[in-house]
Chain A
Amino acid sequence: MTAVNDLDCINLTKRFDETLAVDDVSFSVPRGSFFSILGPSGCGKTTIMRMIAGFLDPTSGDIQIKGKSVLDTVPNKRPVNMVFQHLALFPMMNIADNIGYGLRRQGLDKKLIDAKVADALERVGLPGIGNRRVEQLSGGQKQRVAIARCMVLEPDVLLLDEPLGALDLKLREHMKVELKSLQAAFDTTFVYITHDQSEALVMSDQVAVMNAGRFEQLDTAANLYYAPQTPFVAGFVGDSNRWKGRVESVSGDQVKLVTETGVSIIGTARGTVQSGATVEAFVRPEAIRVAHSVNGIGEHANSFVGNVENVLFNGANSRVLLRVEGGGTIDVALPQSGEFNGLQRGDALAIGWGASQSLCFGAN
Chain B
Amino acid sequence: MIPTIKQPRAFSLIYGAYVALFFVYLALPLLVVSLFAFNDSLFPSLPWNGFTLDWFFSPEQPQRGVFYEKSILESIGTSALVAVSVAALSVGVGTCNAFLFNRYEFRLKSVLYVLMLLPLVIPGIVLGISILVFSSTVANGVEDSLNYDIEALRPGLVLVILGQFSFITTIATLVIAARLKKFDTSLEEAALNLGATRLTAVRTITLPYLRPAILGAVLVAFLMSFENFNTTLMLVGSDAPLTIEMFDRLKEGSTPVLNAVSLLLMLGSSLLALTMIAFQRKS
Touch between A and B in complex, CB under 8 Å? yes
Residue numbers of A with Cβ under 8 A of B are 50, 55-57, 74-75
Specify which chain B residues have a CB less than 8 angstroms from the CB of A74 in the assembled complex.
6
- Whether B145 is near chain A, meaning CB under 8 Å from some CB there, is no
- Whether B278 is near chain A, meaning CB under 8 Å from some CB there, is no
- Whether B238 is near chain A, meaning CB under 8 Å from some CB there, is no
List 7 A-B residue pairs with CB atoms under 8 Å apart, sorted by A's residue number: A50-B4, A55-B4, A55-B5, A56-B4, A57-B6, A74-B6, A75-B5
Q: With A and B bound together, what is the CA distance between A57 and B5 in angstroms? A: 10
Residue of A nearest to B6 (CB): A74
- The number of residue pairs between A and B whose CB atoms lie closer than 8 Å in the complex comes to 7
Residue numbers of B with Cβ under 8 A of A are 4-6
> Whole-angstrom distance from the CB of B10 to the nearest CB of chain A?
16
Query: Is chain A's binding surface mostly helix, strand, loop or mixed?
Result: loop
Q: With A and B bound together, what is the CA distance between A74 and B5 in angstroms? A: 8
> Whole-angstrom distance from the CB of B1 to the nearest CB of chain A?
11
> Whole-angstrom distance from the CB of B4 to the nearest CB of chain A?
4
Q: With A and B bound together, what is the CA distance between A74 and B4 in angstroms? A: 11
Specify which chain A residues have a CB less than 8 angstroms from the CB of B6 in the assembled complex.
57, 74
Q: With A and B bound together, what is the CA distance between A98 and B5 in angstroms? A: 21
Residue of B nearest to A57 (CB): B6
The 7 closest A-B pairs by CB, nearest first: A55-B4, A75-B5, A55-B5, A56-B4, A74-B6, A50-B4, A57-B6
Q: With A and B bound together, what is the CA distance between A75 and B6 in angstroms? A: 9
Residue of A nearest to B7 (CB): A74
Residue of B nearest to A76 (CB): B5
Specify which chain A residues have a CB less than 8 angstroms from the CB of B5 in the assembled complex.
55, 75
Q: With A and B bound together, what is the CA distance between A75 and B5 in angstroms? A: 8
Q: With A and B bound together, what is the CA distance between A75 and B4 in angstroms? A: 10
Residue of A nearest to B4 (CB): A55
Residue of A nearest to B2 (CB): A55
Specify which chain B residues have a CB less than 8 angstroms from the CB of A56 in the assembled complex.
4
> Whole-angstrom distance from the CB of A98 to the nearest CB of chain B?
19
> Whole-angstrom distance from the CB of A57 to the nearest CB of chain B?
8
Specify which chain B residues have a CB less than 8 angstroms from the CB of A50 in the assembled complex.
4
Specify which chain B residues have a CB less than 8 angstroms from the CB of A75 in the assembled complex.
5
Q: With A and B bound together, what is the CA distance between A55 and B2 in angstroms? A: 10
Specify which chain B residues have a CB less than 8 angstroms from the CB of A57 in the assembled complex.
6
Q: With A and B bound together, what is the CA distance between A50 and B6 in angstroms? A: 13
Q: With A and B bound together, what is the CA distance between A55 and B3 in angstroms? A: 9
Q: With A and B bound together, what is the CA distance between A74 and B1 in angstroms? A: 13
Q: With A and B bound together, what is the CA distance between A343 and B279 in angstroms? A: 61
Residue of B nearest to A56 (CB): B4
> Whole-angstrom distance from the CB of A21 to the nearest CB of chain B?
14
Q: With A and B bound together, what is the CA distance between A56 and B4 in angstroms? A: 6
Specify which chain A residues have a CB less than 8 angstroms from the CB of B4 in the assembled complex.
50, 55-56
Q: With A and B bound together, what is the CA distance between A56 and B5 in angstroms? A: 8
> Whole-angstrom distance from the CB of B160 to the nearest CB of chain A?
45
Q: With A and B bound together, what is the CA distance between A50 and B2 in angstroms? A: 14
Specify which chain B residues have a CB less than 8 angstroms from the CB of A55 in the assembled complex.
4-5
Q: With A and B bound together, what is the CA distance between A55 and B1 in angstroms? A: 12
Q: With A and B bound together, what is the CA distance between A306 and B5 in angstroms? A: 61
> Whole-angstrom distance from the CB of A76 to the nearest CB of chain B?
8
> Whole-angstrom distance from the CB of B3 to the nearest CB of chain A?
10
Q: With A and B bound together, what is the CA distance between A168 and B4 in angstroms? A: 30
Q: With A and B bound together, what is the CA distance between A75 and B1 in angstroms? A: 12
Residue of A nearest to B3 (CB): A55
Residue of B nearest to A50 (CB): B4
Q: With A and B bound together, what is the CA distance between A50 and B4 in angstroms? A: 9
Q: With A and B bound together, what is the CA distance between A57 and B6 in angstroms? A: 10
> Whole-angstrom distance from the CB of A254 to the nearest CB of chain B?
52
Q: With A and B bound together, what is the CA distance between A56 and B3 in angstroms? A: 10
Q: With A and B bound together, what is the CA distance between A56 and B6 in angstroms? A: 9
